[in-house]
Amino acid sequence: MSFDAIVLGAGAAGLMCALRAGQRGRKVLLLDHADKVGKKILISGGGRCNFTNTGSGPHAFLSANPHFCKSALARYTQHDFIALVDRHGIAWHEKTLGQLFCDGSARQIVAMLLAECAAAGVDVRAAHRITGVEKADRFRVSTDHGDFDAASIVLATGGLSIPKMGATGFAHDVCRRFGLKITQTRPALVPLTLKVPEISGVSLEVVARCGKTSFREAMLFTHRGLSGPAILQVSSYWQPGQEIAIDLLPDVGDAVQFVKERRHARPKAELRTLLAEVLPQRLATVLAETGTETLNDWRVVPTGTEGYAKAEVTVGGVDTDGLSSRTMEARKVPGLYVIGEAVDVTGWLGGYNFQWAWSSGWAAGEAV
C-alpha cells in the first residue's frame, strides 16, 4: 500500500505529526508496535498527563545544540496545544511551577489526538511490528502485517527510557543505517543511587545543584538513594563521578546561625528537637548526630542512576547537526524525518518533554 507519509510510533510526537500532515491533505499511515497507541501518555502524570508547561521555552531543554529546539517551539507553542485541549472541552488545572494536568484522565488526551487523526483521514494501525525500513526511490516499511511504501517516513518511536512500556533503540538504529550520527545517550529524569541514611519515604523541599544548574523542588529519600522532582531534574545534568550539592534548608539562610538562635531561646532542648522545627522528624534525628554545618550545603557523589527502567526520558539521541531545525528532516536523506525523544533534545520535568513532542511533531507534519 502506498502513502505520502508513514509515521512510525504512535506516541505524542507521532500522533501530532500524523494529524497535522493529514490536515494538510496528505495520505498518512501511522504505525505502532504496541496493541494500543499513546501508552506513555496514558501513564504520565499519575494517569492525568502533565501535557505541557506554561513556562515552556528553549531554556528548559538540554541538547548539544541548545539553539536547535527554538524554531519548532516557536512555531507550535504551549498556548497552541492548550487551545486544542480547550476546543475538545477537556478540563485541566495548573499545579506547581506551570505544570498543566487533565482534571480527569490522560485517556482524554489520547482520545483527542485520535479524534483529530480520524478527522484528518489518518490510517492508524496498532500491533504492527516493523521488521525493516529501506529506501530506493521511495521508502519501504516492512511489518509483520505486510509492506507499505511512502515518499516520506517519520521516526517517532521515542528513546530508551521505560523499556517495559516498549521503548527500544529502534529510531537510533534506523538513523545509523541511513548514516545519521547519534550523540551519547544516558538515562535522564531518573532517581540517583547512593548510600543515604535509613529514612526511606522521608520527603522535603530542597535546592539541588549540579554544576551551575539548580532546582528548588521536593526530594525523597529511598531505599536505593535519592529521588523526587529536585533530584530527577539534576539527574539530567549529572555525569558519573560528579558531586551534587543539596541545600536541605533553603528557607533558613544560615543553618548554623539558626541553631545558635534556637539554643539561646530553648537552652534545654536537644538538637534533634530544634531541627525538627524545620525538618522532618526522622531526618532531624539523623542529622543531629552528624552536625549542622552541612545543612545548607550537603555534598554527595551518587554511585549511579536507577537506569532506563526508571528514567522518564533519554538525554542524547539523533545528532541535531544532521537535521533541519525547521522541518526535522535529515539533511542527507531527503524524506526522512526524526521527532520527539529520539532527537538530542531533552526537557525538564513538568510537561516540557510533551511540549517538545507536540512542537517537533507539528514541525514535521507541516513539511512531509
User: What does the pLDDT look like over 270-305, one tens digit per residue?
Assistant: 999 999 999 999 999 999 888 788 899 999 999 999
Angle at 204 between CA 203 and CA 205, to 5 degrees: 140
At 161, the pLDDT band (50, 70, 90 cuts) reads: confident
Q: Per the domain annotation, does 310 fall within a domain?
A: no
Calculate the dihedral angle through the C-alpha atoms of 323, 176, 310, 236, rounding to the nearest 10 degrees.
-40
Percent of the chain with pLDDT over 90: 92
* CA–CA gap between residue 77 and residue 331 (Å, rounded): 25
pLDDT of 165 > 90? The answer is: no
Q: Per the domain annotation, does 96 fall within a domain?
A: yes
Same domain, 176 and 196: no
Same domain, 49 and 81: yes
Same domain, 17 and 160: yes
The answer to whether 305 and 298 have CB atoms below 8 angstroms apart is no
pLDDT, residue 85, reads 98
Q: What is the arithmetic mean of pLDDT over 17-21?
A: 98
* CA–CA gap between residue 185 and residue 314 (Å, rounded): 7
Same domain, 79 and 146: yes
Tell me, rounded to whole angstroms, the distance of Cα 360 from its chain centroid. 14
For 303-329, write each residue's pLDDT tens digit.
999 999 999 999 999 999 999 999 999
Q: Give me 65's grid cell.
A: 545544540
The answer to whether 226 and 283 have CB atoms below 8 angstroms apart is no
* CA–CA gap between residue 181 and residue 332 (Å, rounded): 11
DSSP string covering 88-137, please?
Answer: TT--EEE-GGGEEEESS-THHHHHHHHHHHHHTT-EEE-S--EEEEEESS
Task: Kindly tell me the burial class for residue 136, based on how many C-beta atoms sit within 10 Å of its own C-beta (0-12, 13-18, 19 or more).
Answer: exposed
Same domain, 87 and 206: no
Percent of the chain with pLDDT over 70: 100
Measured N-to-C along each axis, helices 78-87 and 107-119 cross at an angle, to the nearest 10 degrees, of 90
Same domain, 62 and 115: yes
The 10 Å CB-count burial string (b at 16+, else e) for 331-347 is eebebbbbbbbbbbbbb
Poorest-pLDDT segment among 16-30, 68-82, 167-181: 167-181
Domain limit, last residue, from 305, 340, 355: 305
Query: Phi-psi bin for 205: left (phi > 0), alpha (psi -120 to 50), beta?
Result: beta
Same domain, 173 and 196: no
The answer to whether 14 and 154 have CB atoms below 8 angstroms apart is yes
Same domain, 38 and 177: yes
Q: Per the domain annotation, does 299 fall within a domain?
A: yes
Q: Per the domain annotation, does 201 fall within a domain?
A: yes
pLDDT, residue 232, reads 98
Same domain, 294 and 359: no
- Residue reference for cell 496498532: 126
Beta-carbon contacts of 48 under 8 Å, excluding residues fewer than 6 positions away, are 101, 102, 103, 104, 105, 106
Q: For 7, list phi and psi in degrees, rounded to 5.
A: -105, 120
Query: Phi-psi bin for 317: left (phi > 0), alpha (psi -120 to 50), beta?
Result: left
Domain limit, last residue, from 266, 282, 305: 305
Neighbours of 223 (CB within 10 A): 9
The DSSP symbol for 144 reads B
* CA–CA gap between residue 283 and residue 275 (Å, rounded): 9
The parent domain of residue 211 ranges over: 192-305
How many structural domains are present in the chain?
2
pLDDT, residue 164, reads 78
- Residue reference for cell 531545525: 325
Helix (H, G, I), strand (E, B) or coil at 70: helix
Q: Is the dihedral of CA 189, 190, 194, 195 positive or negative?
A: positive
Q: Per the domain annotation, does 297 fall within a domain?
A: yes
For 132-148, write each residue's pLDDT tens digit.
999 999 999 999 999 99
The answer to whether 246 and 209 have CB atoms below 8 angstroms apart is yes
Q: Per the domain annotation, does 177 fall within a domain?
A: yes
pLDDT, residue 163, reads 78
Q: Per the domain annotation, does 64 fall within a domain?
A: yes
Average pLDDT of the chain to the nearest whole number = 96
Q: Per the domain annotation, does 76 fall within a domain?
A: yes
pLDDT, residue 253, reads 84
Same domain, 299 and 327: no
Measured N-to-C along each axis, helices 107-119 and 12-23 cross at an angle, to the nearest 10 degrees, of 30
CATH of the domain at 239: 2.40.30.10
pLDDT of 160 > 90? The answer is: no
CATH of the domain at 35: 3.50.50.60
Q: Which of 173, 191, 89, 178 is nearest to 135 (CA)?
A: 178
At 364, the pLDDT band (50, 70, 90 cuts) reads: very high
Q: What is the arithmetic mean of pLDDT over 253-257?
A: 89
165 vs 30, more confident: 30
Same domain, 22 and 165: yes
Domain limit, last residue, from 253, 276, 305: 305
Q: What is the arithmetic mean of pLDDT over 251-256?
A: 90
pLDDT of 250 > 90? The answer is: yes
pLDDT, residue 166, reads 79
Same domain, 179 and 200: no
pLDDT, residue 63, reads 98
